[in-house]
Structure 1
Amino acid sequence: MLEELDIRNLGPIRQATITPAAGMTAITGETGAGKSMLLSALNLISGGPADAGRVSSGADEAWAQGIFAVHDDAEAASAARDAGVEAEDGELFLSRTVRAAGRSRAMLGGKGVPKSVLALVSGELVTIHGQAEQLRIASPSRQREFLDRAAGDDVELGAYREAWRALSAMDERLTRLRSQESSARQRADYLRESVEHINQVDPHPGEDDELKAKRDRIENAADIAEGVSRALAALDSSQMDYDSSGESAGASDLLLQAAQALRGIRASGDFGGLADRLESLNAELQDVVFALSGHLDEDFGDADLDALNARIHELGELTRRWGPSLADVIAWRDKAAFEIEDLDASPEKLAELESERERLYQAAVEAAGVLSRARSQAATRLAARVTAELESLAMSGASLEIRVTPRAEATDRCPLDQNGGDDIAFLFTPYEGSPQLPMGKSASGGELSRLMLALELSAADMHGGESRGEDGAKNESGNGSRTGSNASLSDMTFIFDEVDAGVGGKAAAELGRRLARLARTSQVIVVTHLAQVASWADSQFVVTKEPPDADYDEVGVITTVAEVTQEARVHEIARMLSGSESEASLDHARELLADSKLGNRH
């Protein structure tokens, strides 16, 4: 929802701030006053083209900023997050600067971004229905997106796209296999020979380190035996063969003798504790003796150093080519085995994949059928609702047909794409007897704006709006104030321009009523010259031409934008009704505003 729109030096608007209502806001003013600049500002922050000619005369740059309230789980917040910007206190700031000489600059949350990012985020926040913007709905993709939104077919669309992704992945794999060139075959041969060589060597993780350690012990066996023997003789003479005539006590014997000597002391003191510590040291020493004895018993048998070195060399060749470790070699071999399966496009393998592809295709076709049926049902309901709405919008005899046509299966192409298997067309008949033409080519700007209003209203109703009062009238606190369960049905802001072109009288009142009805579930901003439309708004801003400010050298019109309330609003409605503010027109304005309240119109 748009909370604030700020403008500086855009066309005749030097500075303006608009804080639209949560429901419906009307933008009014005399023809040529500069109401179009407000749409220009919204187009700028929506990533639209930047026209340096729109910069106010004498200014270096124009600037527009929109502050939007968003929920953390909203699509706009997610899109901003993907661009590295987090909503601050539930608000997103979208701004655009256009220099009189130079390029424009887009900002999201104070961070410079490409204007395409601004367009992506704003696309989840603002929908502009003006003459130029209406042409977007003429594209089949936009019409499909609108129908899916109205249908609420997220589950069916999600299931189909999952099936489509699996099918596409298989198609890519088959294409890769079928289009293998000699280089791919050479790689398959290389991988196959490499895997075979590694399997012949049959390495085990850490085997080379173990063999090198073993070789080191064998090569130094004599030194190990001599050193261990001398250490054992010094620690525990009972472990060694010796001549009794040369008997000498080892460290273990000496420790025990010392402990016994201390225990023989009868005087008081800590001698017993010290003896315990000596015996504990002796126990630790005996563990060392036991470990050293094991080295004396180590027997390498008939170990062949040549064979050992040959094996180490063989393993070293593997690590040099596919290492650096044997674990890496083994991982490379296992990965290569899978790659060989893809590169080795044997007839059997291709036949197996073709069979799997057919299964995936049939699953996608089935999911596309479910999605198509959901779309067709929604298209029938949506078209009927829109046609009924058009009758009340001064478009008697106008109708909309939405065709959902499943594509025929062709021999040269798949009838499916990422969005399903349907061709969707919005066909509009502007008056009875008129030929049915594609939407966007068969209506004026005003008719197309009213058609879009009917579409938005009908889509909102299909999302649960049936429970609302069909009068769409405002309550005493405002026209379209969103209350109760409807308070947050949509975060979208709808902008309507030219929607009242060629409309007057009772049809104008019905147009205002329907705009107010849409404002029950979404924020609505309408640029209008009809009092019957403006009277339904929760808030009203007037765009006024003022004499040029003496501080500026240029001669020209300066435009101001101000909210009108209470009596000021009555005077503006009176001006819109009759071009004057006579007592009769003021009474008429008060009556019109009163009639726009709940229960006064049916």
Structure 2
Amino acid sequence: MLEELEIRNLGPIRHALLDFAPIRHALLDFAPGMTAITGETGAGKSMLLNAIRLISGASADAGRISAGADETRAQGVFAVPEGSRAAAIADDAGAPEQDGELFLTRSVPAKGRSRAMLNGHSVPRGVLAHVSGELVTIHGQADQLRIASASRQREFLDAYAGDRAALDAYHAAWQALRDMDDKLARLQGQEAQARQRADYLKDAIARIDRVDPQVGEDADLKSKRDRIENAAAIAQGVGGAVAALDSAQMGYDDDGGAGVTQLIDRAVQSLRGIHVGGVFDESADRLEAIGGEIADVVLALTRQVDDGEEGADLDAINERIHDLDELTRRWGPELDDVIAWRRQAGLELEDLDASPEKIDELRRRREQLAQDAVDAAVVLHAARVKAAQELSRTVSGELAELAMSGAGLDIAVTQRFDDAGSVEDAAAALEAHGGDDIAFLFTPFPGSPQLPMGKSASGGELSRLMLAMELASAERHRDDDALPGDSDGRTGMTFIFDEVDAGVGGKAAVELGRRLAQLARTSQVIVVTHLAQVASWADAQFVVSKAASDGEGVSTAVTRADDEDRVREIARMLSGSESETSLDHARELLAQSSLD
């Protein structure tokens, strides 16, 4: 929802007959519901739409900068619900929403390039367009041609149908078919390269498998080799150490010299023989503990001598280490890397297997995927046909209430592969969004031929047609499209209507205002209007007028009309004056313009 719009130094569109003045500064605080923008012809109401178009990523024109200013600037503040698509787009662009709000800003200097900003971050103009596309829909003469494109009509119909399951199922089936086509094309188009790569992987895998390396094996083998190569020195050193610590372990008798263990035993016995206790027993205990530690060391060293490493085959160990080193030089640097590469190479080899048998298998799978995609397209087609019939009927009924009696909308949904001779032919007709050609055909009056939408209606008629379409969509999704936490059940979209009242008057104008107010129950609606019968239905009203000269010339002012100010503006719109009669009529019209 648009909460605030600020405009600075926005100049007018040049017009040969009308004398527009620039907006030096305007700050509009919008609220939920319906807002009317009114004012005298030529006051510059269209500049408000131009400001919104600017923050929506439209092309910038330095010629619209007011005279004497360095730049024009527009900023819109939008409230967005958590998890909305607009918030997600902003987050992806590195400009996440702040306290549930998005700030869309555009500045156009007199010289140089325009600048687009999102939440204070500079972004490409296309990002603003992407974000604003989720927030604002403008229905004005300059914006209506977008709905004339087949893609926009398809998107509107799919949104109206609301059959997300059918769309998702088709997208998944179509993408699986595309992926298989890409895989087959890659195998067939690069068969020679694939064979070479497959041969290399097969040879490499076979070589690694012959060696069959184990995690940490190279480090264990090198440690073992070091022990074997130094076996004599190890035996001599360990023998001397053990003899010094415990002569009995080396087969010496008492006369051959006592080791540390024996000497400690003698010292313990001497201390125990005192039979006094105290420090002597404590010292004996400590010596016994030391003796136990030394005995453990002797045992560990003796085992090293008894391991018999010198009997191992040093040549076999060196050969194994050489084989492992060869693997790490090619696919390392560590043995763990070799093992990981072997595992990944096996997976890649499966994809590169371009044997005739493999390709035949993929082709059979591709036939099934093609059938799945065609079946999903048929389901999606049925959902679209049903939605098209309902939308056409509802919109045509709404048009009758909008001073367009006899006008109608027909939506043609044509399946491209109706006459396909095979599943393959049908699958070839599919595109990313299905197998349907969708056309919105408008009949402006009875007896008129059906013509493509956008080429068969005036600006006012097309605006009312779009209003009828938005009303139909809002009514269909009144319950499921409400935003979480919004007690009014409003959606996050802001609809802006310009020229919707062209060629309308009297009772039809009242009904037009009623329909806009009805749409405002589920969405924010901003309407630029000349008709009091339309403006009276609004929840808020802004008046665009020429202000007195401020030393820089005449400028355009935008003010909110409340209470008696609004009554006077409605009276002016009704009769061009503020007589007591017109004021009474204005009060009566405001009182009657309520959906309750």
Write the mapping of 1:17-28 to structure 2, written as runs, cut at 5 A: 17-28=27-38
How far does residue 238 in structure 1 lie from its aligned partner after superposition? 2.1
Which of 249, 252, 265 is the matching residue for 1:256? 265
Identity across aligned pairs (percent)?
A: 64
Which of 548, 563, 568 is the matching residue for 2:565? 568
Report if aligned partners of 1:20, 1:525 keep a CA contact under 8 Å in 2: no
For the pair 1:111 / 2:111, whether they are aligned, the reply is no
Per-residue CA deviation, residues 117-144 of structure 1 (Å, 9 max, x unaligned), is 1111111111111112111111111111
Which of 219, 223, 247 is the matching residue for 1:213? 223
How far does residue 598 in structure 1 lie from its aligned partner after superposition? 4.0
Write the mapping of 1:394-405 to structure 2, written as runs, cut at 5 A: 394-405=403-414
Tell me the number of residue pairs that the alignment of Structure 1 and Structure 2 aligns.
581
Write the mapping of 1:460-479 to structure 2, written as runs, cut at 5 A: 460-464=474-478
How far does residue 332 in structure 1 lie from its aligned partner after superposition? 1.6
How far does residue 301 in structure 1 lie from its aligned partner after superposition? 5.9
Residue of structure 1 in register with 2:17 after alignment: none
Residue of structure 2 in register with 1:284 after alignment: 293
SS at match of 2:534: helix
Residue of structure 2 in register with 1:589 after alignment: 586
Taking the aligned partners of 1:385 and 1:196, their CA distance within structure 2 comes to 69
Q: 1:298 to 1:37 in 2, by over 3 A?
A: same
Taking the aligned partners of 1:300 and 1:134, their CA distance within structure 2 comes to 90
Write the mapping of 1:338-357 to structure 2, written as runs, cut at 5 A: 338-357=347-366
* Aligned AA (2:524): Q
Q: 1:580 to 1:68 in 2, by over 3 A?
A: same
* Aligned AA (2:394): R
Write the mapping of 1:89-488 to structure 2, written as runs, cut at 5 A: 89-248=99-258, 250-267=259-276, 269-300=278-309, 302-408=311-417, 409=420, 411=425, 414-464=428-478, 487-488=488-489
Per-residue CA deviation, residues 49-72 of structure 1 (Å, 9 max, x unaligned), is 111111111111000001111111
Per-residue CA deviation, residues 76-121 of structure 1 (Å, 9 max, x unaligned), is 1111111112221211111100111111101111111111111111
* Aligned AA (1:436): Q
* Aligned AA (2:534): V
Taking the aligned partners of 1:123 and 1:258, their CA distance within structure 2 comes to 95
Residue of structure 1 in register with 2:528 after alignment: 527
Report if aligned partners of 2:543, 2:558 keep a CA contact under 8 Å in 1: yes
SS at match of 2:309: coil
* Aligned AA (2:4): E
SS at match of 1:131: coil
Q: 1:291 to 1:530 in 2, by over 3 A?
A: same
* Higher mean C-alpha deviation, range 198-207 or range 560-569: 198-207
Taking the aligned partners of 1:368 and 1:284, their CA distance within structure 2 comes to 82
Q: 1:379 to 1:546 in 2, by over 3 A?
A: same
Taking the aligned partners of 2:295 and 2:480, their CA distance within structure 1 comes to 91
Report if aligned partners of 2:37, 2:526 keep a CA contact under 8 Å in 1: yes
Taking the aligned partners of 1:252 and 1:169, their CA distance within structure 2 comes to 78
Per-residue CA deviation, residues 309-363 of structure 1 (Å, 9 max, x unaligned), is 2322222111111111122112222222222232231111011111222222222
Taking the aligned partners of 2:512 and 2:347, their CA distance within structure 1 comes to 65
* Aligned AA (2:425): T
* Aligned AA (2:204): S
Q: 1:575 to 1:289 in 2, by over 3 A?
A: same
* Aligned AA (2:464): R
Q: 1:289 to 1:453 in 2, by over 3 A?
A: same
* Aligned AA (2:586): A
Write the mapping of 1:45-124 to structure 2, written as runs, cut at 5 A: 45-124=55-134
Report if aligned partners of 2:228, 2:310 keep a CA contact under 8 Å in 1: no
Taking the aligned partners of 1:364 and 1:255, their CA distance within structure 2 comes to 89
SS at match of 1:411: helix
* Aligned AA (1:152): G
Q: 1:544 to 1:310 in 2, by over 3 A?
A: same
How far does residue 284 in structure 1 lie from its aligned partner after superposition? 2.7
Residue of structure 1 in register with 2:505 after alignment: 504
How far does residue 276 in structure 1 lie from its aligned partner after superposition? 3.4
For the pair 1:578 / 2:575, whether they are aligned, the reply is yes
How far does residue 370 in structure 1 lie from its aligned partner after superposition? 2.3
Q: 1:242 to 1:598 in 2, by over 3 A?
A: same
Q: 1:307 to 1:27 in 2, by over 3 A?
A: same
* Cα root mean square deviation, aligned: 2.2
For the pair 1:547 / 2:548, whether they are aligned, the reply is yes
* Higher mean C-alpha deviation, range 222-231 or range 272-281: 272-281
Q: 1:259 to 1:28 in 2, by over 3 A?
A: farther
Taking the aligned partners of 1:406 and 1:273, their CA distance within structure 2 comes to 102
SS at match of 1:574: helix
How far does residue 528 in structure 1 lie from its aligned partner after superposition? 0.5
Taking the aligned partners of 1:162 and 1:464, their CA distance within structure 2 comes to 29
SS at match of 2:142: helix
* Aligned AA (1:5): L
Report if aligned partners of 1:129, 1:495 keep a CA contact under 8 Å in 2: yes
Taking the aligned partners of 2:250 and 2:485, their CA distance within structure 1 comes to 97
Structure 2: give runs of 5+ residues left out of the alignment.
12-21
Report if aligned partners of 2:33, 2:521 keep a CA contact under 8 Å in 1: yes
Taking the aligned partners of 2:61 and 2:261, their CA distance within structure 1 comes to 98
Structure 1: give runs of 5+ residues left out of the alignment.
469-481
* Aligned AA (2:10): L
* Aligned AA (1:570): V
Q: 1:483 to 1:175 in 2, by over 3 A?
A: closer
Taking the aligned partners of 1:375 and 1:262, their CA distance within structure 2 comes to 104
How far does residue 413 in structure 1 lie from its aligned partner after superposition? 6.2
Report if aligned partners of 2:518, 2:595 keep a CA contact under 8 Å in 1: no
Report if aligned partners of 2:195, 2:354 keep a CA contact under 8 Å in 1: no
* Aligned AA (2:319): A
Residue of structure 1 in register with 2:14 after alignment: none
* Aligned AA (1:512): G
Residue of structure 1 in register with 2:2 after alignment: 2
Report if aligned partners of 1:486, 1:520 keep a CA contact under 8 Å in 2: no
* Aligned AA (1:561): V
How far does residue 484 in structure 1 lie from its aligned partner after superposition? 10
* Aligned AA (2:498): D
